[in-house]
Amino acid sequence: MMDQVLAKALKRRLELENELAKLDQFIEMYRDLEGTNREAVDTGGNSQSQDRPSEVARVGSESAIPIRPRGRPADFVRIMEGVLKDAGRPLNRAAMVAEIEVRGINIPSQDKPRYVGTILWRARHKFVHIAEYGYWLKYTALPEVGYDPKSYGPWLADATNISIDRKDQPNLPSIQEDD
C-alpha cells in the first residue's frame, strides 16, 4: 500500500515538474517578446533580477531546456543614447559595439553589431541613420555633418534613414559605414 502512495506521489511530482517547465518556457517567451527577459517576481511580489547566463532548467531528469543570456533593449537604448552624446558624432554599428564594450557592458549576442543595429532600428523614434556617417540622435542637430532635424519637419518622425545633400556642403567629412 505504501508503495502505491509513493508511486502516485512521484508520478504527480513529475507531472507538476513538467507543467512548471512549460510555464517557465511560456514566461521566457513572453519576456523575450516584451523585452523584459530575466526579471522575475518572487512570491512576496518583489521584483528581482535573475542573471543566469548559462543555466539550464531541468525537467525531471530526462530533459533540459537551455537558457540563453538576454539583454534588456530599453537599457541598451539608454546606453546608446549616452554613447552618442559622449562621442558627439554619429557612429556605425561596429563603433557603437566598441564604445559599449569599453564601458564594460556585455552585449548578449554572438553577432553584436547585428544586435545593436536591431535595437537602434526598433528605437527609430530616438535614432536615425545618417547615410555615410552612422547612427545619431534623431532630434539633435549635428551641424558638422549638415544634419538639422528641423529641416525635415513632421516627416522626420517616421524616418529611419537620412541622406545629407553633400552638393550644398562639399567640405563635410565622410565616415565609412559598415551598415
Are 156 and 97 members of one domain? yes
d(CA 80, CA 71): 13
Are 42 and 91 members of one domain? no
Q: In this predicted model, what pLDDT tens digit does every residue of 83-112 receive, in sequence order? A: 999 999 999 999 999 999 999 999 988 999
Are 115 and 154 members of one domain? yes
Q: Where are the beta strands (DSSP E) in the chain?
A: 39-41, 47-49, 56-59, 63-66, 127-130, 134-137, 161-162
Range of the domain at 48: 2-66
Say if 105 falls within a structural domain: yes
3-state secondary structure of 66: strand
Say if 52 falls within a structural domain: yes
Judge if pTM exceeds 0.75: no
C-alpha distances (whole Å) from 176 to each of 113, 142, 179 are 15, 17, 9
**Residue whose C-alpha cell reads 507538476 in the numeric block:** 16
Average pLDDT score over the chain? 75
Please count the structural domains in the chain: 2
Are 97 and 51 members of one domain? no
Say if 141 falls within a structural domain: yes
Are 119 and 97 members of one domain? yes
The three cell numbers of residue 62 are 530526462
